């Protein structure tokens, strides 16, 4: 077990290193960042001076190693646009995105998994068909369009929920959170629902597919032959068996939800890192882009690691013969 | 029937309402069972024997349902009961054991948890008491060290142990009746013998009635007092075991018995195999593309071959191993330094239980796996090249696989499957191809007009004929048969065995015949090699090995084979 | 002799799901309408000379200066929305199909080569693919298209780059599974040339799961393109796709001019839902674990 964890940490470090190189080269090799920094009408001297100040005259690999050295000290450089350290900038926006993402993913799992199990257990019932119809909509309709419809319905027509912003926040552990105030929660509801809809559909479909397969298996038939009630079969056998693929997807989707927050935050003017990245992409603010992409990669690797540990807890077949 | 009857099944019909029409899987079946009686329900696949078992406890999944008749257990009618009422009976009064314990036990729950769930299904029970009962139950089915076993997961147990756990769960509430659906089919013959003996003892001790569903007449003969033979949803013959198996009345029962290789003189055609008056196999007059090799060298030689399977490791894992951060990955030595020589024209049988390495050895002989050490030579020429990506060098060795559904490309017309190899090697040209395929289909007893069909349009036996035609169309000298009849019903098995015997003598083939079934090998092969844990433990003329086994393992293996009572003449 | 090829059996089973057939018909109809857009549309929405600002933002049913009824209203530039939607559908489909096709060819090629090559090369290719799958597709497409700039080719490149990895992973998985099957071993032990085994045996048998992924990915590519256009990094406003039309109408939504965003949105959803419904039916049909 310990060797396995060590192995995974080694692997994660290697992946992060490769990622940083890819991201750096990808973002810096294309286009000319200098045009963003200075206007077209400045003198050649200032131009060269600026290039030298940002180290843009050095070869790409040298720039990369300078960058890598700084990153190891927690220095991702300064934003071209905001003029403040990138790390500070991202950390100030992160809590808003985190609370939104966690609310969306957890909400999607809590509703989606039971709905999916039901739809897989009684695939021919009217309720199951309704659930699947909603899920196919959630799976198909682009997130931004659902956002529009939510705003149209609840903010414009019914006027019961706010259309954007974070609302009131309260501090916890030195960080401002919206979910701690009633007003903040009311601001969070629509964007969280918007972000959750696709995940909800995905969880429902996965849970349904898993349940349908498990219900046809000999394990369930044998459990029934031993006189187990349907409720016990579902709760003890089916749920345990489908939890393994569900946990994987739950983990993977957390990372992609962070990415989709870009869309939701744009629509609902939610001041998180998604909004930040869109703005910096449009203004080609490279240090912010690089730091953001590395953050997403880091989150993804961490989640993969946790999912792996969860596997060991959920699937005894993996425990034997390893570590 | 008598008042003492525990179970009375009258005119039971179970139909499946599929889009292709109604399938009458069970079509008016009647029988009765007394308390403590053991009944064997025999039949080939599709006879409705398993569906009969599931119908009794009301576990038929849609689109199937019990369409008529009655099932009375201790005088109580079961067919009209609600699922909740049936559930109260299941596991308590009637319980069931399935074929493959790997599929029936939940892989992510411990044995103890699974037993507790079965206990809780019928009464409230504390965790401590459940554990005590679980240990008792496991001890009852002769599981060594039950205290440790309760905390195991199914994958930590062997196949035989898993099936014992399933039986322990079935026995928990002291049922009046146990239905076992092919309970030993997935197990090796020695484990099967143990389970059969234990089951016989247990039901006698507990006074439980037993319905033993099986395709295998011999296992039924060794446990049942009463036998019913099913065919196409109906019971065709029923009676005391000895009467049915030694003096069968119905022609179908007689045919089943006659099709068994153990009932016929080795090397002769099986009685019910109906050798079709098939066309002779086509031969090519053109000279073969490859040289015949050194005629003086021993014909087919496996020279000190071994096969080691390494678990795949990434480069990082390898690095971690070097640094001592991870244990070295495990490797399995499937075949351990085996040497064999097969003279031209001989049929060599390779027998062994699962995991003995017989299939791996066969695949090395066939040029599918490259040996980790040693060489395979035909007439002095290596069968495979060496190097990083070894390739097969000869067309003179061909293979017939176990499952003809898996060994034929499902998306290719069978004619193309047959002609593909000969075309690629220039044995036939485009103009000759169609005639060549038709000739081969005729030679294996199929209508030459079916060349344009796909594998799914054939039955299992027909598919195996296609697979035989494909292998032989390459005009091989030596054919490796890897369990070619293991997935076929006994009557189809007889046909395929007869076909193989006929083609072998007409073409002068050399055979390596791999099988777990000792009687099939005895029937077909002059010489036999017994494999155990990757090694050949005994080798010799078939008659000698079977009648006077020298190695302990061979003795045990032969003793474990269930025997049918001799036919009354 | 009955003609009963696997393809025919597949179609016979597909036909039993009424929803799937209806969805397929809808997909075909939408593709047809998109192809025939120049013939059906009352107006050429790209011809700026024909647009009149006085016709801008008119509600459905309005009779504009062109003398015909704008059944779905007009947008901020005075375009007839119905025409704009037809042309937008054309662009959306074009983007989705071309990007999907490129991703399919590249991804399947890589995946099957990896499974066939084996060893270190397989491990390397698949590790790169896995690494890329670490990045959510939308983020990748967003960054690439931002870096490449606006334009059809750039957008297609971004979409394909974001999606080929899914095909590669699926193809690799399917090919690895097929490679261990008896019929492939039988072909290799005949022996047949490796190339023939890959093309004639392994690839055809990998197609069912790949078709499922292809339908999902075409739908995803269309949705992704719309999202990118909505975020302002997709196609230029002069040739609006459905996503760009929706984005253009977004600002008027709060003032009650819902039709500028909603109608293109409905067209988009109809298309994606229909494709996904077809994909769902195929997925169920090719899942061996649901066959009993």
Kindly state whether residues A63 and A134 are assigned to the same domain.
no
Q: Is the pTM of this model over 0.90?
A: no
Q: Are A220 and A238 in contact (CB under 8 A)?
A: yes
In this structure, the answer to whether residues A54 and A129 fall within a common structural domain is: no
CA B31 to CA B47: how far, in whole Å?
16
Whether B398 and C187 lie within 8 Å, measured CB to CB: no
Tell me, yes or no, whether B229 and B312 share the same domain: no
pLDDT score of B316 more than 70: no
- Identify whether A153 is part of a domain: yes
Contact call for residues C51 and C79 (beta carbons, < 8 A): yes
Give me the domains of chain C, ranges plus CATH numbers: 6-290 (1.10.3720.10)
Interface touch B410/C196, C-beta < 8 Å: no
Q: What is the count of residue pairs from A and C with beta carbons less than 8 Å apart?
A: 115
> What residues have CB less than 8 Å from B431, skipping those under 6 apart?
none
List residues bridging with B420 in a β-sheet: none
Point out the residue among A4, A225, A237 whose CB comes nearest to the CB of B106. A237
- CA–CA dist C112, C173 (Å, integer): 9
CATH of the domain at A306: 1.10.3720.10
Of B202, B235, B258, which residue constitutes the final position of a domain?
A: B258
The 8 Å CB, 24+ separation contacts for B67-70 are B67/B13, B67/B14, B67/B15, B68/B11, B68/B12, B68/B13, B69/B9, B69/B10, B69/B11, B69/B12, B69/B13, B69/B28, B69/B29, B69/B30, B70/B8, B70/B9, B70/B10, B70/B11, B70/B12
Partner residue facing A218 (CB), from B98, B109, B110: B98
Q: Is residue A144 part of a domain?
A: yes
Contact A221 B153 (CB under 8 A): no
B7 part of a folded domain: yes
Strands B177-181 and B94-97: parallel
CB contact under 8 A, A140 and C276: yes
Closest partner CB to B406 (pick from C123, C182, C193):
C182
Rounded to a whole number of angstroms, the distance from the CA of C133 to the nearest CA of chain B is 19
Among C136, C273, C292, beta carbon nearest to A140: C273
CA A119, A120, A125, A126 torsion-angle sign: positive
Q: Within an 8 Å CB–CB cutoff, is residue C260 touching chain A?
A: no
C52: Cα separation from own chain's centroid: 33
CB contact under 8 A, A7 and B118: no
What is the torsion angle, in degrees rounded to the nearest 10, for the CA atoms of residue B104, residue B105, residue B106 and residue B110?
180
d(Cα C248, Cα B28) in Å, to the nearest integer? 71
Listed in order, strand segments (DSSP E) in B352-454 are 373-378, 381-382, 397-400
> Around B284, how many Cα atoms within 13 Å sit in the side-chain half-sphere?
21
CA–CA gap between residue B393 and residue C190 (Å, rounded): 10
The answer on pLDDT for B426 being more than 50 is yes
Are A97 and A58 contained in the same domain?
no
Does A80 reside within a domain? no
Q: Do B410 and C182 touch (CB under 8 A)?
A: no
* Residue B492 in domain: yes
Q: Does C258 touch chain A (CB under 8 A)?
A: yes
Chain C residue numbers touching B395 (CB-CB < 8 A)? 190-191
Name the DSSP class of A85: B
Using alpha carbons only, what angle is made at residue C160 by residues C157 and C163, rounded to the nearest 5 degrees? 150
Q: Does A8 touch chain C (CB under 8 A)?
A: no
- On whether both B228 and B306 belong to a single domain, the answer is no
Long-range pairs of B550-556 with CB within 8 A, sequence gap ≥ 24: B554/B530, B556/B190
Partner-chain contact B398 C189, CB within 8 Å: yes
Residues A174 and A131 in one domain: yes
Residues B379 and B246 in one domain: no
Residue B269 has pLDDT above 50, yes or no: yes
Single out the residue in A72, A107, A125 at which a domain terminates.
Answer: A72
The string of DSSP codes covering C138-185 is HHHHHHHHHHH-SSHHHHHHHHHHHHHHHHHHHHHHHHHHHHTSHHHH
Cβ–Cβ under 8 Å, residues B48 and B27: yes
pLDDT in tens, C147-196: 777 788 888 988 898 889 999 989 998 898 888 889 999 998 888 988 88
Low-confidence ranges of chain A (pLDDT < 70): 1-4, 29-40, 54, 319-323
Whether residues B306 and B359 share a domain: the answer is yes
What is the phi-psi region of residue C242: left when phi exceeds 0, alpha when psi lies from -120 to 50, beta otherwise? Answer: alpha
Residues of B contacting chain A (CB within 8 angstroms): 57, 59, 61, 87-92, 95-96, 98, 100, 103-110, 113, 117-118, 120-122, 153, 155-156, 166, 169-170, 172, 316-317, 319-320, 325-327, 330
- Residue C124 to chain B, least CA–CA distance (Å): 10
**pLDDT at residue A322, as a whole number:** 34
C24 in contact with A, Cβ within 8 Å: no
State the pLDDT at residue B322: 55
Kindly state whether A173 is in contact with chain B, defined as any CB-CB distance less than 8 angstroms. no
For residue A139, tell me if it sits in a domain: yes
* Residues of A whose CB is below 8 A from B110: 316
Confidence label for B282 from pLDDT (cuts 50, 70 and 90): confident
Question: Is residue C36 within 8 Å of C29, Cβ to Cβ?
Answer: no
Task: Let me know if residue A322 belongs to a domain.
Answer: no
Interchain contact, B320 vs A6, CB within 8 Å: yes
With respect to residue B408, please indicate whether it lies within any of the assigned structural domains: no
Query: Is C142 part of the contact surface with chain A (CB cutoff 8 Å)?
Result: yes
For residue B19, list chain C residues with Cβ-Cβ distance below 8 A: 16
pLDDT of residue A257: 84
Kindly state the DSSP code that residue A274 receives in the 8-state scheme: H
What's the pLDDT score for residue C103?
94
Domain presence at residue B254: yes
- Please report whether residue A82 resides in a domain: no
Are the Cβ atoms of C204 and B408 closer than 8 angstroms? no
Select from C105, C228, C226 the least CA-distant residue to C163: C105
Write the CB contacts of B16 (distance below 8 Å, at least 6 apart in sequence).
B22, B23, B25, B63, B64
Question: What's the rounded mean pLDDT across residues B507-512?
Answer: 93
Residue A58 and residue A179 in one domain = no
How far apart CA C261 and CA C263 sit, in angstroms, is 6
Give me chain C's average pLDDT, please. 82
Taking only residues 243 to 282 of chain A, the set having a beta carbon closer than 8 angstroms to any beta carbon of chain B reads 244
Chain B CB within 8 Å of residue A129 CB: no
Return the percentage of chain B with pLDDT > 70, whole number.
92
Domain range for residue B514?
Answer: 300-396+475-560
Would you give the distance in Å from CA A170 to the centre of its chain?
Answer: 24
Q: Which of A18, A151, A266 sits opposite C231 (nearest CB)?
A: A266
Over the range B147-166, which residues count as b (16 or more CB within 10 Å of their CB) and which as e? Answer: eebbebbbbbbebbbbbbbb
Q: Does A218 touch chain B (CB under 8 A)?
A: yes
Question: What is the total residue count of chain A?
Answer: 323
**Smallest Cα–Cα separation from B347: which of B469, B480, B159?**
B480
Choose the final residue of a domain: B232, B258, B284: B258
The number of folded domains in chain B is 2
In a domain? residue B470: no
**Is residue A244 within 8 angstroms of chain C, CB to CB?**
no
Cα pseudo-dihedral B182, B188, B190, B195, rounded to 10? -30
- Considering the domain architecture, whether residues B373 and B313 belong to the same structural domain is answered as yes
**Residue in chain A lying closest to B319 (CA):** A7
Which carries the bigger pLDDT value, residue C269 or residue B274?
A: C269
What strands, in cross-sheet order, belong to the sheet with B209-214?
A: B94-97, B177-181, B209-214, B38-43, B226-231, B234-240
Tell me if chain B has a CB within 8 Å of the CB of C16. Answer: yes
Residues A260 and A134 in one domain: yes
Give me the residue from A227, A236, A321 closest to B90, CB to CB. A227
Residue B368 lies in a domain: yes
> A149 and A245: one domain?
yes
A54 and A147 share a domain?
A: no
Please check whether residue A53 lies inside any domain of the structure. Answer: yes
**Residue A321, pLDDT score:** 43
Supply the pLDDT for residue C70: 67
Is position A267 within any domain? yes
Q: Which domain holds residue A241?
A: 90-317
Residues B306 and B242 in one domain: no
B379 and B491 assigned to the same domain: yes
Distance from CA of C142 to the nearest CA of A (A): 8
- Do A299 and A164 share a structural domain? yes
Q: Which of A124, A144, A204 to mutate to test the interface with C (most CBs of C within 10 A)?
A: A144
In degrees, rounded to 5, the angle at the alpha carbon of residue B289 between the alpha carbons of residues B500 and B436 is 50
Query: Residue C289: closest CA among chain A residues belongs to which residue?
Result: A213
For chain A, say whether C26 makes contact (Cβ under 8 Å). no
Tens digit of pLDDT for each residue in B137-192?
999 998 989 999 999 999 888 888 999 999 999 999 999 999 999 999 888 999 99
For chains A and B, what is the number of CB pairs under 8 angstroms? 108
| B contact set with C (CB within 8 A) | 19, 61, 314-315, 363, 366-368, 388, 391-393, 395, 398-399, 401-403, 406-412, 420-421, 424-425, 449-450, 452-454, 456-457, 467, 470, 474
My answer on whether B390 and B481 are in the same domain is yes
User: Is A281's CB within 8 Å of C243's CB?
Assistant: no
| Interchain proximity C135–A296, CB inside 8 Å | yes
Q: Do C1 and B409 touch (CB under 8 A)?
A: no
Q: Of A216, A227, A237, which is closest to B87 when you measure between CB atoms?
A: A227
CATH assignment of the domain containing B361: 3.40.50.300
Number of structural domains chain A divides into: 2
- Could you read off the pLDDT of B352-377 as tens digits, one per residue? 988 899 999 999 999 998 999 999 99
Taking CA–CA distances from C126, the nearest residue in chain B reads: B314
Q: What does DSSP assign to residue C198?
A: I
Query: Looking at the domain assignment, is residue B3 inside a domain?
Result: yes
Tokens of A276: 């930040």
**A286 within 8 A of A240, measured Cβ to Cβ:** no
B399 vs C120, C189, C192: nearest CB: C189
Q: How far apart are CA A94 and CA B13, in angstroms?
A: 66
Q: Is the CB of residue A143 less than 8 Å away from at least one CB of chain C?
A: yes
Residue A290, classified by CB atoms within 10 Å of its CB into exposed (0-12), middle (13-18) or buried (19+), is buried
- B350 and B228 inside one domain: no
- Is the domain of A176 the same as that of A53? no
Q: Please give, one letter per residue, the 3-state secondary structure of B196-231.
A: HHHHHHHHHHHCCEEEEEECCHHHHHHHCCEEEEEE
* Tokens coding A206: 């996965």
**Chain C residues with CB-CB distance to A266 below 8 A:** 231
Same-domain status, A166 and A134: yes
Residue B531 lies in a domain: yes
- Which residues of chain C neighbour B368 with C-beta distances below 8 Å? 185, 188-189
Nearest CA to C86 among C158, C140, C152, C31?
C31
Same domain, B384 and B528: yes
In terms of domains, do A27 and A153 share one?
no
Among residues B401, B384, B402, which one has the least CA distance to residue B393? B384
The answer to whether B491 and B272 have CB atoms below 8 angstroms apart is yes
Q: Quick one: B353 and B245 in the same domain?
A: no
pLDDT confidence band for B55 (50 / 70 / 90): very high
Among B197, B228, B258, residue at a domain's last position? B258
**Is some CB atom of chain A closer than 8 A to the CB atom of C84?**
no
B391 and B242 in a common domain:
no
* Per-residue pLDDT tens over the stretch C62-121: 676 666 776 677 777 777 888 888 888 988 898 889 999 999 999 999 998 888 877 778
Q: Residue A93's pLDDT is what?
A: 87
Touching subunits for chain A (3+ Cβ pairs under 8 A): B, C
**C-beta of residue A284 within 8 angstroms of C-beta of residue A245:** no
């Amino acid at each position: 077990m310990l060797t396995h964890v060590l192995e995974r940490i080694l692997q994660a470090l290697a992946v992060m290193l490769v990622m940083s190189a890819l991201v750096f080269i990808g973002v810096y090799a294309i286009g000319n960042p200098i045009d963003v920094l200075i206007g077209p009408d400045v003198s050649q001297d200032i131009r060269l001076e600026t290039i030298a100040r940002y180290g843009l005259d050095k070869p790409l690999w040298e720039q990369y190693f300078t960058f890598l050295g700084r990153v190891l000290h927690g220095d991702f450089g300064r934003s071209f646009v905001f003029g403040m350290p990138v790390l500070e900038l991202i950390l100030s926006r992160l809590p808003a995105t985190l609370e939104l993402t966690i609310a969306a993913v957890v909400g999607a799992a809590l509703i989606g998994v039971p709905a999916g199990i039901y739809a897989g257990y009684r695939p021919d019932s009217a309720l199951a068909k309704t659930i699947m119809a909603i899920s196919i909509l959630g799976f198909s309709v682009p997130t931004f369009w659902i956002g529009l419809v939510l705003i149209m319905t609840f903010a414009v027509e019914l006027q019961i929920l706010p259309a954007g912003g974070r609302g009131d926040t309260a501090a916890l552990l030195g960080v401002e959170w919206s979910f701690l105030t009633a007003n903040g929660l009311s601001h969070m509801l629509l964007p969280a629902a918007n972000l959750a809809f696709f995940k909800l559909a995905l969880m429902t479909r996965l849970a349904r597919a898993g349940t349908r397969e498990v219900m046809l298996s000999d394990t369930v038939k044998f459990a029934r032959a031993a006189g187990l009630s349907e409720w016990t079969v579902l709760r003890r056998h089916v749920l345990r068996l489908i939890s393994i693929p569900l946990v994987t997807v739950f983990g993977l989707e957390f990372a992609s939800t962070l990415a989709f927050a870009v869309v939701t935050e744009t629509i609902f003017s939610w001041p998180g890192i998604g909004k930040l990245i869109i703005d910096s992409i449009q203004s080609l603010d490279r240090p912010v882009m690089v730091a953001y992409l590395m953050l997403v990669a880091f989150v993804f690797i961490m989640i993969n690691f946790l999912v792996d540990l969860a596997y060991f807890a959920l699937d005894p077949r993996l425990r034997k013969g390893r570590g | 029937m008598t008042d003492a009857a525990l179970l009375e099944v009258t005119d039971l019909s179970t139909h499946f309402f599929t889009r292709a029409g109604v399938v009458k899987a069970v079509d008016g079946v009647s029988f009765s069972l007394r308390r403590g009686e053991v009944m064997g329900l025999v039949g080939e696949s599709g006879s409705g024997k398993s569906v009969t078992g599931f119908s009794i406890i009301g576990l038929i999944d849609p689109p199937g349902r019990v369409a008529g008749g009655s099932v009375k257990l201790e005088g109580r009618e079961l067919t009209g009961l609600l699922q909740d009422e049936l559930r109260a009976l299941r596991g308590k009064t009637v319980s069931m054991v399935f074929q493959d314990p790997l599929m029936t036990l939940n892989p992510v729950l411990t044995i103890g948890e699974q037993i507790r769930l079965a206990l809780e299904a019928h009464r409230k029970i504390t965790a401590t008491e459940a554990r005590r009962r679980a240990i008792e139950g496991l001890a009852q089915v002769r599981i060594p060290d039950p205290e440790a076993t309760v905390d195991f997961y199914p994958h930590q147990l062997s196949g035989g142990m898993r099936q014992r756990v399933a039986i322990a769960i079935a026995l928990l509430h002291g049922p009046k009746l146990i239905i076992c659906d092919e309970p030993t089919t997935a197990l090796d013959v020695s484990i099967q013998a143990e389970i059969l003996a234990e089951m016989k003892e247990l039901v006698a001790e507990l006074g439980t009635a037993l319905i033993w569903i099986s395709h295998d007449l011999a296992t039924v003969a060794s446990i049942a007092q009463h036998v019913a033979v099913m065919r196409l949803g109906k019971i065709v013959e029923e009676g005391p075991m000895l009467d049915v198996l030694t003096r069968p009345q119905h022609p179908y029962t007689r045919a089943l018995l006659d099709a068994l290789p153990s009932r016929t003189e080795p090397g002769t055609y099986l009685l019910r195999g109906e050798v079709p008056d098939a066309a002779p196999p086509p031969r090519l007059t053109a000279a073969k593309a490859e040289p015949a090799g050194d005629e003086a060298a021993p014909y087919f030689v496996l020279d000190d071959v071994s096969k080691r399977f390494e678990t795949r490791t990434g480069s990082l894992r390898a690095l971690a191993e070097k640094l001592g951060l991870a244990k070295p990955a495990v490797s399995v030595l499937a075949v351990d330094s085996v040497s064999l020589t097969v003279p031209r024209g001989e049929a060599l049988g390779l027998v062994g239980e699962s995991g003995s390495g017989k299939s791996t050895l066969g695949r090395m002989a066939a040029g599918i796996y490259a040996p980790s050490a040693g060489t395979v030579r035909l007439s002095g020429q290596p069968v495979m090249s060496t190097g990083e990506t070894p390739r097969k060098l000869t067309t003179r060795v061909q293979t017939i696989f176990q499952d003809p559904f898996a060994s034929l490309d499902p998306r290719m017309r069978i004619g193309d499957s047959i002609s593909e190899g000969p075309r690629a090697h220039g044995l036939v040209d485009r103009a000759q191809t169609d005639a060549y395929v038709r000739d081969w289909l005729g030679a294996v007893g199929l209508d030459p007009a079916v060349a344009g069909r796909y594998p799914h349009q054939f039955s299992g036996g027909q598919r195996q004929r296609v697979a035989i035609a494909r292998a032989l169309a390459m005009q091989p000298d030596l054919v490796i048969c890897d369990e070619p009849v293991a997935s076929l019903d006994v009557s189809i098995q007889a046909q395929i065995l007869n076909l193989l015997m006929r083609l072998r003598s007409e073409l002068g083939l050399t055979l390596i015949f791999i099988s777990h079934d000792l009687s099939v090998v005895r029937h077909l092969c002059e010489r036999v090699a017994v494999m155990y844990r990757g090694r050949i433990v005994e080798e010799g003329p078939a008659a000698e090995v079977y009648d006077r086994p020298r190695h302990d393992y061979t003795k045990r293996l032969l003793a474990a084979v269930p025997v049918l009572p001799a036919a009354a003449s | 002799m009955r003609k009963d090829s696997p393809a025919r059996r597949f179609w016979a089973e597909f036909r039993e799901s009424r929803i799937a057939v209806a969805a397929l018909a809808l997909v075909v109809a939408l593709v047809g309408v998109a192809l025939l857009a120049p013939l059906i549309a009352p107006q050429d929405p790209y011809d700026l000379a024909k647009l009149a600002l006085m016709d801008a933002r008119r509600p459905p049913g309005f009779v504009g200066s062109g003398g015909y009824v704008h059944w779905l209203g007009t947008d901020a530039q005075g375009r007839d929305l119905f025409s704009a939607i037809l042309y937008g559908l054309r662009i959306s489909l074009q983007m989705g199909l071309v990007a999907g096709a490129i991703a399919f060819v590249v991804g399947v090629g890589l995946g099957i080569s990896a499974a066939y090559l084996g060893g270190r090369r397989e491990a390397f290719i698949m590790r790169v693919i896995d690494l890329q799958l670490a990045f959510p597709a939308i983020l990748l497409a967003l960054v690439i298209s931002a870096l490449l700039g606006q334009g059809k080719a750039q957008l297609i490149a971004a979409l394909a780059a974001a999606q080929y990895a899914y095909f590669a992973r699926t193809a690799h998985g399917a090919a690895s599974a097929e490679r261990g099957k008896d019929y492939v071993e039988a072909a290799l032990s005949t022996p047949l040339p490796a190339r023939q085994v890959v093309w004639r045996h392994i690839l055809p048998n990998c197609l069912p799961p790949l078709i499922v992924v292809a339908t999902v990915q075409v739908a995803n590519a269309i949705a992704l393109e719309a999202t990118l256009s909505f975020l302002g990094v997709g196609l230029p406003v002069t040739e609006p796709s459905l996503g760009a039309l929706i984005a253009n109408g977004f600002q008027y939504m709060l003032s009650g001019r819902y039709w500028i965003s909603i109608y293109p949105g409905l067209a988009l959803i109809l298309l994606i839902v229909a494709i996904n419904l077809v994909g769902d039916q195929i997925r169920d049909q090719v899942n061996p674990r649901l066959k009993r």
